[in-house]
Every structure is written in structure tokens, then in C-alpha cells.
Amino acid sequence: MKTIPMTGAILAGGQHGGEPWAQRALTEIDGEAVIDRQIRSMRELCREIIVVTDSPRPLLKALDASIRLITDYHTERGPLGGIHAALYLSKYEQIWIAACNLPDLSAAAARKLWEHRTPAARAVIPIVRSQPIALHGIYDKSCAEAVNRQLSLNQTSLAGFLGRIEWQGVPADSWLADPAIGDFTRKLSGYAQEGRADTDSAICHGMSTSVERLR
């Protein structure tokens, strides 16, 4: 798969049960760390990959030198803190942003989003089971202003952020049945139920990956 001028950003901040998500991102599934699975997928499409976290220590030795490890400027702000850092510090204008609790990121799905994006849209997000999967979407770097404005008002709702930008939803239910894409919405908890990963159902960067369940 040919890469395009795009940054891939993995949000690995926040905690669950007192354990940093950066540490949980090292959970192995079928012998491979979750974050390595995600990076491998993003490399199929993106020319730059960054990991955003408020707890970088567990990842310092785990990531190779080609991966940019950056920290939140706005800490304890949920996914918006990570999105803010990713948008401001990315090299490219288009950023594929994903949560670290989605082990099966799909470069093929991200490419479809990129291909479906209209010129007016500042973000393009897959719609699965009638819910926008906001943390497997592609955002324009210009969205940084909207994030900054919301955080300056001490507002951390991801749904509120989407309300500030022009975003395009792309129906993606049919994509899940495509073997080349798979169920990119599946969370770590699904693997735990199968006994393939030692983890609980939780939320990366403090919130859900879909808008409807946001707190």
C-alpha cells in the first residue's frame, strides 16, 4: 500500500485502574504489543507516526527512533488534550487520529476515509452502527484552533469539539465484513473476553472512542 502525506497519531494518555494507558498499550495480543500492531498498520498509510501520552516512561524503550513520542500540553483533559498535541505538532496537514484501545486499526479503512473526504470537510469520520468512531478519524491540522478554543473554556467534550468543526461522516458498516479491513472498532476488552489479552474494558485518554458514549 502506497503511503500518503499524512501523520498517524496514537493517543495513549490517561489511566485505567491506576495504570497508565501507555503501559497498557504494551499488552500483547498474539505475541505482539498493541501499540506495535497499531504502528504497523499506520505505517501502511502514513509517512509520520507520533504517540501522544502523559506517561511517556513505559514507552521510551518500546518505540523505535522513527516514532515521535510527544506529551500533552493540556494534561488531564481526556482525548482532547491528546488531539490538541497531535494537531499542533504533526508534520503533515492531515492526521489520522486513533485511540490506543483499538488494536485492529485499519489502514485500508483510513484510506477509504481519505478518498471519501470532500473539500469542505475538516474531518472525516467512519460511522459504524449509527455511531461516529471519532478516534479512528482523519482530521485537518486547522482543527487545532477549535480544540484550543474549547480547552481554553475548560470544556473537554469530544462531541462538543465535533460540534465546532465541519466534519463528514462516512457509512462504514459494510467495511467490517471486508477481510482487508476487518472490525477496526473492536476494543481491547474483546480480546480479553477471548483470553487473548490480559486487560479490561476501558477507555483510552479518559473517554470512549465513539461520540455517543462520551461523558
The pLDDT assigned to 16 comes to 59
- Distance, CA of 150 to CA of 74 (rounded, Å): 11
pLDDT at 110 over 80: yes
16 vs 202, more confident: 16
Contact of 199 with 188, CB cutoff 8 Å: yes
Please answer whether residues 186 and 141 qualify as being in contact, where contact means their C-beta atoms are separated by less than 8 angstroms.
Answer: no
Whether residue 133 is predicted with pLDDT greater than 50 in this model: the reply is: yes
Instruction: Judge: domain 4-206, CATH 3.40.640.10.
Output: no
CA distance linking residue 61 with residue 140, whole number of Å: 30
Other Cβ atoms closer than 10 A to 18: 5
C-alpha cell at 116: 471519501
Q: Tens digits of per-residue pLDDT, 190-205?
A: 565 555 554 433 333 4
Please tell me whether the overall predicted TM-score, pTM, comes out greater than 0.85 for this model: yes
- Using the predicted structure, report yes or no on whether residue 148 has a pLDDT greater than 50: yes
- Which band of pLDDT confidence, cut at 50, 70 and 90, is reported for residue 120? very high
Q: What percent of the chain stands above pLDDT 70?
A: 84
Q: Where are the domains of the chain?
A: 4-206
Q: How far apart are CA 206 and CA 135, in angstroms?
A: 12
Q: Calculate the average pLDDT of the chain.
A: 86
187-211 residues labelled b (16+ CB within 10 A) or e (exposed): bbebbbeeeebebeebbbbbbbbbb
pLDDT above 70: residue 210: no
